[in-house]
């Protein structure tokens, strides 16, 4: 199947290949290698930031989405979702800046900013995914004597899982892409090399930050895609 997603992934790989050729041709490789220690340290910092804020967003976002989809929330859920939707329209850089004004500088505001930026797609997809589970499945499940919790675990979540994981995939893509900005509020990460490289007009330094960031984004997208492929039941998985 030829989809936009496949196409963009191929394009990414192609771009990386050309960057690779360019780097080795221009002698930039040696230049980048001089930052090796920084790359290792900052990548670890970067991954830690992405992993913790992403995980927190999943751990909070999925339950919130579930809670909003419960029949008891039917009236207020849409209003709350509107708040989340407005949240999505705020640029992530602004979110980071705002969180700095409240939490100061360092890991905490960076973590919080990334957490907020990735929370929204997760909540929204969990909510809409669960609401999209057909009523007749719920009726059948109820009529068979399943409790609401059993219905949630055995019927609703498995059927909404693909959509929920899509939300997580989007959220993590936003998270990884926004994480370099964490440097601006003292959160560290590969942004340090990128922004400093830009300021000093040092291509090697810039690439030492940009290439691992790009690779990280591709890897995370690949892993969540694999998760979608394997964790979602074959009966409801459009990928297989």
Partner 1 sequence: MIQLEDLTKTFSTPNGPVVAADKVNMTVPTGEICVLLGPSGCGKTTALKMINRLIMPTSGRIYINGEDTTQLNKFELRRRIGYVIQQIGLFPNMTIEENICVVPKMLGWDAKKAKERAAELTDLVGLDPHQFLHRFPKELSGGQQQRIGVIRALAADPPVMLMDEPFGAIDPINREIIQNEFLKMQEVLKKTIIFVSHDIDEAVKMADKIAIFRGGKIEQYDSPSQVLAHPANPFVADFVGSDRTLKRLRLLTAVDVRDIDAPVASMQASVEEVLVSAKSHANRIVVLIDADRHPVAYVTADELSGATGVVSDFAHDLPTTVPVGADLRAVVSEMLSHDTMWITCVDERGHFAGVVTQPAVTAALGQKSSSVRDQATDARLANV
Does the footprint of partner 1 cover residue 147 (CB under 8 A)?
Answer: yes
C-alpha span between 127 and 163 (Å, rounded)? 9
Of the two residues 40 and 236, which places its CB atom closer to partner 1 in the complex? 236
Query: Is 141 or 205 the residue whose CB approaches partner 1 more closely?
Result: 141
The span from the CA of 60 to the CA of 119, in Å, is 8
State the binding string over 198-237 for partner 1 (x if CB under 8 A, else -). Answer: -----------------------------------xxxx-
Q: Is 150 in the site for partner 1 (CB under 8 A)?
A: yes
Listed residue (141, 70, 114, 149) closest to 220, CA to CA: 114
How many chain residues bind partner 1 (CB under 8 A)?
Answer: 22
Least spacing, CB of residue 143 vs partner 1, in Å: 4
Position 40 contacts partner 1 (CB under 8 A): no
Q: For residues 132, 84, 162 and 226, what is the CA-based torsion angle, rounded to 10 degrees? A: 170
Which of residues 36, 41, 154, 200 is near partner 1 by CB under 8 A?
154
Closest CB to partner 1 among 12 and 150?
150
Do residues 53 and 175 lie in contact, with contact meaning Cβ atoms separated by under 8 Å? Answer: yes
Which residues, 160 to 189, sit near partner 1 by CB under 8 A? 161
**Tokens 């979540």 correspond to what residue?**
157
| Comparison of 78 and 139: residue with beta carbon closer to partner 1 | 139
**Minimum distance, C-beta of residue 36 to partner 1, in the bound complex (Å):** 47
In angstroms, give the least distance from the CB of 158 to partner 1: 4
Q: Which residue stretch of 39-47, 74-82, 133-141, 175-183 sits at the interface with partner 1 (rule: CB under 8 A)?
A: 133-141
Distance CA 17, CA 32 (A): 16
Output phi, psi for 34, to 5 deg: -65, -20
Considering only 8-16, 94-102, 138-146, 202-210, which stretch makes contact with partner 1 by CB under 8 A?
138-146
Instruction: For residue 99, state whether it binds partner 1 (rule: CB under 8 A).
Output: no
* CB of 26 or CB of 233, closer to partner 1: 233
Helix axes 157-178, 107-131, angle to 10 degrees: 150
Which residues bind to partner 1, rule: CB under 8 A?
134, 136-137, 139-147, 150, 154-155, 158-159, 161, 233-236
């Amino acid at each position: 199947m030829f989809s936009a997603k496949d196409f963009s992934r191929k394009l990414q790989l192609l771009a990386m290949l050309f960057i690779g050729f360019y780097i080795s041709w221009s002698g930039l490789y040696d230049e980048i290698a001089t930052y090796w220690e920084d790359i290792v340290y900052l990548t670890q910092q970067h991954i830690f930031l992405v992993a913790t804020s992403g995980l927190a967003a999943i751990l909070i976002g999925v339950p919130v989405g579930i809670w909003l989809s419960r029949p008891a929330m039917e009236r207020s859920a849409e209003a709350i979702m509107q708040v989340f939707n407005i949240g999505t329209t705020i640029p992530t850089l602004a979110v980071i800046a705002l969180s700095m004004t409240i939490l100061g500088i360092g890991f905490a505001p960076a973590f919080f900013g990334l957490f907020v930026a990735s929370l929204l797609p997760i909540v929204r997809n969990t909510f809409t995914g669960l609401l999209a589970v057909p009523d007749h499945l719920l009726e059948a499940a109820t009529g068979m004597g399943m409790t609401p919790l059993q219905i949630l675990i055995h019927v609703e979540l498995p059927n909404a899982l693909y959509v929920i994981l899509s939300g997580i995939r989007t959220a993590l893509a936003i998270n990884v892409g926004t994480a370099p900005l964490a440097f601006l509020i003292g959160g560290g990460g590969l942004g340090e090399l990128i922004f400093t490289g830009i300021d000093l007009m040092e291509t090697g330094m810039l690439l030492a930050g940009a290439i691992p960031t790009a690779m990280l984004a591709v890897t995370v997208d690949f892993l969540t895609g694999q998760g979608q492929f394997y964790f979602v039941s074959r009966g409801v998985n459009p990928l297989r």
